[in-house]
Amino acid sequence: MQKIAAPPRAVLFDAYGTLFDVYSVGLLAEQLFPGAGERLGVLWRDKQIEYTRLLTLAGRYKPFWDVTQAALHYSVQKLGLPSTPGAEEQLMNQYRHLSAFPENLEVLKDLKSRGVQAGILSNGDPQMLAVAVKSAGFGGLLQHQLSVHAVRRFKNDPAAYALGPQALGLAARDILFVSSNCWDAIGATWCGYSTLWVNRTGAPLDQLDTEPTRIGTSLREVLEFFPALNPPSTRVPS
């Protein structure tokens, strides 16, 4: 892992998979397709990311909502599930309200109490992010909700990561980028950010000759980059 020259001055979070659990849709998927919910959730996510990469490589763009819907439609067909438009609509609506990981709200509140500028940098559409943030109870805790929709290029494209320094008015090296997706943390590292890969599943490091600045297992490890300010002493001089 790399050493940090100076503490970061702000933090940006990936949204899907980092703040919001993309596999929490598996519970509804299992109700709709008994015995296939987990498989559907995994394939749906993999195809969603694959489509973002293919579109960006080809110089094309679709909003993340449309990409997510296309990936779902492919996945139910690939698995041979007896899907209906109604079932897919239920799953898409559930995607608007993904569960947040349990420690996240506490971490975001703690960052705010420390005066840390925090935000999101995501593939998600602005409307998707707004609904997800509100549903998770994160309102008022994230000063920036940056969407690649502004540049019509998905991560790992450098134009996507450039949104952070542009919006925050800071150099990339002064911003901590946090993602549970190793490829995303590495992409941000390539673009000059300090990075934290939240490796919740114990996955191996992607072999791309680059490591994130740090690797952790929980969003709580973000707080190690931003030491709490010591309160003023109230001790009465003797």
Are 147 and 188 in the same domain? yes
If you average pLDDT over residues 67-87, what whole number do you get? 94
Q: How far is residue 176 from each of residues 40, 163, 171, 223, measured CA to CA in Å?
A: 33, 13, 11, 11
Q: Can you give the pLDDT at residue 7? A: 86
- Which of 14, 21, 125, 157 is the catalytic position? 14
Q: Which domain holds residue 186?
A: 10-19+99-225
pLDDT band for position 106 (cuts 50, 70, 90): very high
If you average pLDDT over residues 54-65, what whole number do you get? 97
User: Residue 232: pLDDT above 50?
Assistant: no
Task: Classify residue 1: in a domain, yes or no.
Answer: no
Task: Classify residue 36: in a domain, yes or no.
Answer: yes
If you average pLDDT over residues 122-140, what whole number do you get? 95
Closest CA to 181 of 3, 15, 8: 15
Q: Is 222 helix (H, G, I), strand (E, B) or coil?
A: helix
CATH (domain of 127): 3.40.50.1000
Q: How far is residue 188 from each of residues 10, 117, 194, measured CA to CA in Å?
A: 14, 18, 8
If you average pLDDT over residues 46-59, what whole number do you get? 97
Q: 């995501």: which residue's tokens? A: 122
Q: Can you give the pLDDT at residue 80? A: 96
Length of the chain, in residues: 238
User: Residue 228: pLDDT above 90?
Assistant: no
If you average pLDDT over residues 110-129, what whole number do you get? 96
CATH (domain of 45): 1.10.150.240
Is 46 a residue of the active site? Answer: no
Task: Classify residue 235: in a domain, yes or no.
Answer: no
Are 120 and 190 in the same domain? yes
Task: Classify residue 83: in a domain, yes or no.
Answer: yes
User: Residue 237: pLDDT above 70?
Assistant: no
User: Residue 235: pLDDT above 50?
Assistant: no
